[in-house]
Structure 1
Amino acid sequence: MDLSERIKDVEDRITSACKRCGRNREDVRIVAVTKYVSLSLTEQIVEAGFHHVGENRWQDAKAKWEALSDRVTWHFIGHLQTNKVKDVVGKFAYIHSVDRLNLAAEISRKAMEFGVVARIFLQVNVSGEDTKYGVAPEGLFELAESVKSLPGIEVLGLMTMAPHENDPERTRPVFRRLRELRDELNDAKLFPYPLVELSMGMSNDFEVAIEEGATWVRLGSVLLPYEG
């Protein structure tokens, strides 16, 4: 499929998933993940109306950011090392991968230095896979308690990555548990505002994630044609 066909297919699948679970289509937003595609294709996806773009590493995003920064809202979705925070804060409006206090503290420090507010998600390793980053579910409340008082940070919600499954239905418990953890944080009133967002679901499993409450889905290969 070409790009326009991929966009239509993704839109149809999101709309159908929302209908199945009684959600409004407007409640689900797409981050177009461009980490494996060229500046040219990134420009095409922006021209097609996708203004939320996700990248994993600053060095890969730099040329795209310089060319498109005034037209795009940037999401940092990869593992973030503390020594790279200076490259991300102030350029990326959203950071989806905050999984430890020292990282949050450095984001806070740079946000205050740059005079910005960093909007972050706390990343939870719901599946428990060794290959996945994220705080363990049992450590989430302690991390949230520590992060909530840091200046220059707004915690929007939670993020997770599910295992890659041939049958996406098998990812459902992971997404459901992330939603439950968000709701538990809200019930405990750890933050002076409700956590609304759930960043979960990728190309292989986004429909299941939507059915379980995803508000942001991070779509790469299903949306953007491979440039091989």
Structure 2
Amino acid sequence: MSIATRLHEVLNSLPQGVRLVAISKFHPNEAIEEAYREGQRIFGESRAQELKAKHETLPDDIEWHFIGTLQTNKIKYIIPYVAMIHGIDSYKLLVEVNKHAQKAGRVVDCLLQMHIAQEDTKFGFSFDECRNILKDENWQALENVRIRGLMGMASNTDNEEQIKKEFCSLYEFFVELKNTHFASQPTFNELSMGMSDDYPLAIATGSTLIRVGSRIFGQRAGSEVLHPGLA
């Protein structure tokens, strides 16, 4: 089955208001170009160097999302063009993104990564950690980042009830923040959850952005070992 066919299978399953981030990490330009020809414009990468190289060689109207663990010394490479950073998992990282975005004269959209899975291999804020950071209000002085919402990954399990419970908890926390710290900010409206194996459950529990890679592009050798669970 072609990339185009698999892409349309995913797109045709999405309700209005849900967008697809096609996770293109580890895949060559040719694969991205095939999806691009079918109208896909949002792509996700997890390594700064790979993202930089693809940005320089692929169409300018691609909306690049960074979905991996972002090292502070790599931020400067992607800030000039990245559309959204999904994995802000510390206040320090948010400050660093703001610093480089200020230098680049940009405001960069970010999602706070929440730890909702029953796995230590996944990263992110606990709900209480996030509440405490937002309560402090220092983040409001960061004028070159815009917190657009939350991101989370469910446990890697076949137990659909557990996955649904984890997604529901993230959705409820998203609504809590939307009604409190972000009540006056209509741009706080994105909830990134759901990947190739569980995105229908994520959509059913309120996701606005799904991150799908292998279901569209197929598996790449080594990708699941290096960056498990991101697509």
Q: How does 1:25-104 map to 2 (within 5 A)?
A: 25-104=15-94
Q: Which amino acid aligns with 1:214?
A: S
User: For residues 58 and 156 of structure 1, do their structure 2 counterparts lie closer, same or farther at Cα, with a shift above 3 Å needed?
Assistant: same
Q: Which amino acid aligns with 2:89?
A: D
Q: Which amino acid aligns with 2:172?
A: E
Q: Does structure 2 retain, via aligned residues, the 8 Å contact 1:121–1:158?
A: yes
Q: Secondary structure at the match of 1:107?
A: helix
> Which residue, 181, 194, 199 being the options, matches 1:189?
181
Q: Which residue of 2 aligns with 1:221?
A: 214
Query: Within 2, Cα distance between the matches of 1:131 and 1:31?
Result: 22
**Structure 1 runs of 4+ off > 6 angstroms?**
none
What 5-or-longer segments of structure 1 have no aligned partner? 15-24
Number of residue-to-residue matches in the alignment: 218
Q: Which residue of 1 aligns with 2:2?
A: 2
Q: Does structure 1 retain, via aligned residues, the 8 Å contact 2:27–2:220?
A: yes
Q: Which residue of 2 aligns with 1:164?
A: 156
User: For residues 39 and 154 of structure 1, do their structure 2 counterparts lie closer, same or farther at Cα, with a shift above 3 Å needed?
Assistant: same
After the TM superposition, which of the residue ranges 154-163 and 3-12 deviates more from structure 2?
Answer: 3-12
Query: Within 2, Cα distance between the matches of 1:165 and 1:101?
Result: 29
User: For residues 227 and 131 of structure 1, do their structure 2 counterparts lie closer, same or farther at Cα, with a shift above 3 Å needed?
Assistant: closer
Query: Within 1, Cα distance between the matches of 2:145 and 2:68?
Result: 18
Q: Secondary structure at the match of 1:75?
A: strand
Query: Within 1, Cα distance between the matches of 2:152 and 2:183?
Result: 20
Matched, 1:135 2:131: no
Query: Within 2, Cα distance between the matches of 1:31 and 1:107?
Result: 21
Shift of 1:113: 0.8
Q: Does structure 2 retain, via aligned residues, the 8 Å contact 1:206–1:217?
A: yes
Please provide the CA RMSD for this pair.
1.7
Query: Within 2, Cα distance between the matches of 1:87 and 1:5?
Result: 33
Shift of 1:81: 1.3
Post-superposition Cα deviations, 1:183-217, rounded to whole Å, max 9, x if no partner, equal: 11122234631421101100010000000010000
Query: Within 2, Cα distance between the matches of 1:73 and 1:149?
Result: 26
Q: Does structure 1 retain, via aligned residues, the 8 Å contact 2:22–2:216?
A: yes
Q: Does structure 2 retain, via aligned residues, the 8 Å contact 1:128–1:136?
A: no
Percent identity over the alignment is: 35
Query: Within 1, Cα distance between the matches of 2:59 and 2:123?
Result: 28
> Which residue, 198, 203, 207 being the options, matches 1:210?
203
Q: Does structure 2 retain, via aligned residues, the 8 Å contact 1:77–1:95?
A: yes
Shift of 1:143: 2.5
> Which residue, 109, 115, 128 being the options, matches 1:125?
115
Shift of 1:138: 1.4
Q: Secondary structure at the match of 1:198?
A: strand
Shift of 1:161: 1.0
Q: Which amino acid aligns with 1:213?
A: G
After the TM superposition, which of the residue ranges 106-115 and 192-201 deviates more from structure 2?
Answer: 192-201
Shift of 1:61: 2.0
Q: Secondary structure at the match of 1:151?
A: coil
> Which residue, 158, 173, 180 being the options, matches 2:165?
173
Q: Which residue of 2 aligns with 1:19?
A: none
